[in-house]
């Protein structure tokens, strides 16, 4: 869902993907960097704080935190830390599944407990949507489909508001749609703008923590 927001074609700068590789690299499944380790790490208290230590956040920021169950420790702590820094939090969860699940956090709180707004993917409990005759477990998870719809609705609405405000975004667009020259120009401008926007998140990292009082 994070990569769906940016930098997919049809997307534009203004969103900062925070994707921790140790929690999201699932290709190997087993062995080194396998899924067992990722599922263990996503419930390690304190990891969220180490991740956010890299950014200078302010109450001008907002955050979209995505977790289908909303019950794993790292996304819950991310949302909690965002709120402590004055950042508005939107949680993208599967509400039915989250309500029926048990939080991995000691106090039982879930992602939705630290959200200013909750968006629901609409998937069922357990995520899988279809039953196959003769198979006693459902298949075909739906949270990805619902999540992608929600993410792109947000993207489209933000593009509309920016355009109405006289600040149309630089949208990554295919050459077959806008012509090869303009596609290259949009690509370069969008990536440059992303770099400039991102630099602000690093400009004052640690300043508040290490500046001593006179």
pLDDT in tens, 93-142: 999 999 999 999 999 999 999 999 999 999 999 999 999 999 999 999 99
Domain assignment of residue 158, given as a range: 2-210
Helices (H) and strands (E) in the chain, counts: 10, 5
Tell me what the mean pLDDT of segment 63-83 comes to: 97
What is d(CA 144, CA 172) in angstroms, rounded to the nearest whole number?
A: 22
**Binning pLDDT at 50, 70 and 90, where does residue 212 land?**
very low
Task: Name the DSSP class of 114.
Answer: G
- Is the whole-model pTM more than 0.75? yes
Work out how many domains the chain is built from and give that number: 1
Tell me what the mean pLDDT of segment 80-96 comes to: 97
DSSP H/E element including 90:
strand 88-93
Tell me what the mean pLDDT of segment 20-45 comes to: 91
Of 145, 95, 143, 85, which is closest to residue 117 (Cα–Cα)?
95
Predicted pLDDT at 119: 98
**Binning pLDDT at 50, 70 and 90, where does residue 27 land?**
confident
Share of the chain above pLDDT 90, in %: 84
Of 76, 127, 126, 132, which is closest to residue 105 (Cα–Cα)?
76
Predicted pLDDT at 26: 81
Quick one: how far is CA 116 from the chain centroid? Answer: 15
What is d(CA 117, CA 90) in angstroms, rounded to the nearest whole number?
A: 5
The mean pLDDT value of the chain amounts to: 93
- Cis before residue 144, ω within 30 degrees of 0? no
Tell me what the mean pLDDT of segment 145-174 comes to: 97
The CATH number of residue 11's host domain is: 3.40.50.10490
């Amino acid at each position: 869902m994070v990569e769906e927001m940016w930098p997919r074609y049809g997307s534009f700068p203004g969103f900062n993907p925070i994707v921790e590789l140790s929690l999201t690299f699932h290709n190997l499944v087993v062995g080194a960097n396998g899924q067992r380790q990722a599922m263990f790490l996503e419930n390690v208290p304190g990891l969220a704080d180490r991740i956010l230590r890299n950014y200078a956040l302010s109450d001008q920021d907002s955050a979209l935190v995505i977790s289908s169950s909303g019950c794993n420790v790292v996304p819950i702590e991310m949302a909690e830390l965002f709120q402590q820094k004055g950042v508005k939090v939107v949680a993208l969860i599967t509400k039915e599944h989250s309500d029926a699940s048990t939080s991995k956090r000691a106090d039982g709180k879930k992602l939705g407990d630290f959200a200013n707004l909750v968006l629901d993917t609409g998937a069922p409990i357990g995520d899988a949507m279809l039953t196959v005759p003769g198979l006693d477990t459902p298949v075909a998870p739906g949270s990805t489909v619902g999540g992608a719809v929600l993410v792109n609705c947000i993207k489209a609405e933000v593009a509309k508001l920016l355009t109405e405000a006289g600040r149309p975004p630089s949208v990554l667009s295919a050459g077959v749609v806008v012509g090869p020259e303009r596609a290259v120009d949009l690509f370069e401008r969008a990536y440059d703008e992303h770099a400039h926007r991102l630099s602000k998140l690093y400009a004052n990292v640690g300043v508040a923590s290490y500046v001593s009082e006179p």
